[in-house]
Amino acid sequence: MSPHALPLADLPTGLYIGGQWRDASDGDRIEVRDPATDAVIDDVASATPEDARSAVDAAAAAAAGWASTAPRERGEILRRSYELMIQHREELAQLIVLEGGKSRRDAEGEVTYAAEFYRWFAEEAVRATGHVQTAPGGDKRILTVLQPVGVSILVTPWNFPAAMATRKIGPALAAGCTVVLKPASETPLTALAIAHLMERAGLPAGGVNVVSSRRSGPTVSAMLEHPATRKLSFTGSTEVGRILLRQAAENVLNCSMELGGNAPFIVFADADLDAAVEGAMVAKMRNAGESCIAANRFLVEEDILDEFAGRLAEQMSVLKVGSGMDPSNEVGPMINGAACADVAAMVERSVDAGATLLVGGGPREGAGSFFEPTVLSAVAADDPILSQEIFGPVAPVVGFGSEDEAVSLANDTPYGLAAYVYTCDLARALRVAERVDAGMVGVNRGFISDPAAPFGGVKHSGLGREGGHEGLLEFLEAKYIAVDWSE
């Protein structure tokens, strides 16, 4: 299929370096597939390490000019980018459906969420304030100014191809940093479309550079080793995050890491059960479970365990599974066959170990990587499915007897990204929210993402925050100036 058959008719498919669209230096291309049909929908340039180094050179060449651009002007370019994304919401959503396999509703939701990061950081661009104080000894003033950290390498996953890019580009540009984005090789088209729209919004050459590559390791390494690079902002698996942290250490880079999760969804017997089941559906099934903050383990107080699991299974059983090209479908395909097979193996092991399959259970026959929405009950506390990031439409349900046990089960994981608590007892909700090892807690809510809130994890789920004012600070460095202006 020619690129012109894609929704954004004039979408370029090259590398975007220094404001120019160009081929990879060795002419290599990546095929992009539709996970709903396995068909190739397009191909894009695949950067070599040398191309990646040129992209860092381009970001470095634009760095001083961008850092000295008035914050208001930087904000206005982000604001125009927000408006263009909203104007092209339908086309962007269709791209995400095609290459990422989302349902239409999830894809549209993602575009709005992604664009909102530009609106938020357009507003934050003018809020990088420093401070002044008198030194305790009275001998001088301490001036603290915030300056852009410098050229930033942004590496993003396939599961939110628009939002993970804008959640990094927005604060970086607002802070005065220039960037190179390396999107996931499964979903490069959305990143290219966003860069294309930003070009139209008036972004100067070199401000944002995009290098898709199917050789992620060598390409990213080349950028992390580049002497002009000062920061890595990564979103992806903990496994890859660890590799990149080691590499970043060589060049002593500032690092923000958004890694994997294993979110507990805790339901106490006094919870509003309708609300808990509704929240569970959102927390589990947004993006067909392929979300870092997806509820991964349902911890439910014994008294209501069967009722909760039964009602959850009922809701899962009526979901319409199919390609997002049909907007009535609610659950899209998983990203590829390998992901589907991994989830199938987890479910099989769990059932072999004694879990009860209430609904679903495996991949759907035929083309595409579709997995049936699945609920497992009577899952043993030591079942491996509870310690892995499932990243698919599978909900294991486990019972607990007391608040202490719920907290201890919730914290029995090296991850600490999101957690959810359902109870009508406010004191308990807040107590549990404080005790749970997580960077984010939804209290009687299954949907927590908000560009104005700090998103991020503790333990092996990462370092730093994205969104909120904290997201801007990740791209700023404090400089202390000592001044004595006494006579």
Chain residues in the site for ligand NAD (CB under 6 A): 155-160, 164, 182, 184-185, 216-217, 220, 235-237, 240, 243-244, 258-261, 292, 389, 417, 457, 462
Task: Give least dist CB 291 to ligand NAD, A.
Answer: 7
Task: Give least dist CB 483 to ligand NAD, A.
Answer: 40
Task: Give least dist CB 409 to ligand NAD, A.
Answer: 20
399 vs 416 by CB, closer to ligand NAD: 416
* 8-state DSSP, 437: -
Query: In the annotation, is 292 catalytic?
Result: yes
Which residue, 393, 442, 388, is CA-closest to 413? 388
Beta-carbon contacts of 352 under 8 Å, excluding residues fewer than 6 positions away, are none
Extract the tokens encoding 262.
């294993």
Task: Give least dist CB 435 to ligand NAD, A.
Answer: 21
CA distance 21 to 45: 10
Could you say which of 108, 124, 199, 258 is catalytic? 258
Nearest residue to ligand NAD on Cβ basis: 236
75 vs 439 by CB, closer to ligand NAD: 439
CA distances from 328 to 320, 335, 423, 453 (A): 8, 19, 33, 31
Task: Give least dist CB 242 to ligand NAD, A.
Answer: 10
Note whether 172 and 47 are within 8 A (CB): no
- β-strands 229-235, 208-210: how paired? unpaired
25 vs 388 by CB, closer to ligand NAD: 388
Query: In the annotation, is 255 catalytic?
Result: no
What CA dihedral angle connects 281, 163, 107 and 388, to 10 degrees? -40
Could you say which of 177, 255, 292, 340 is catalytic? 292
Note whether 200 and 193 are within 8 A (CB): no
430 vs 458 by CB, closer to ligand NAD: 458
State the alpha helices, DSSP H only, in 268-378: 273-285, 305-317, 337-352
CA distance 425 to 432: 11
* Residues known to be catalytic: 258, 292
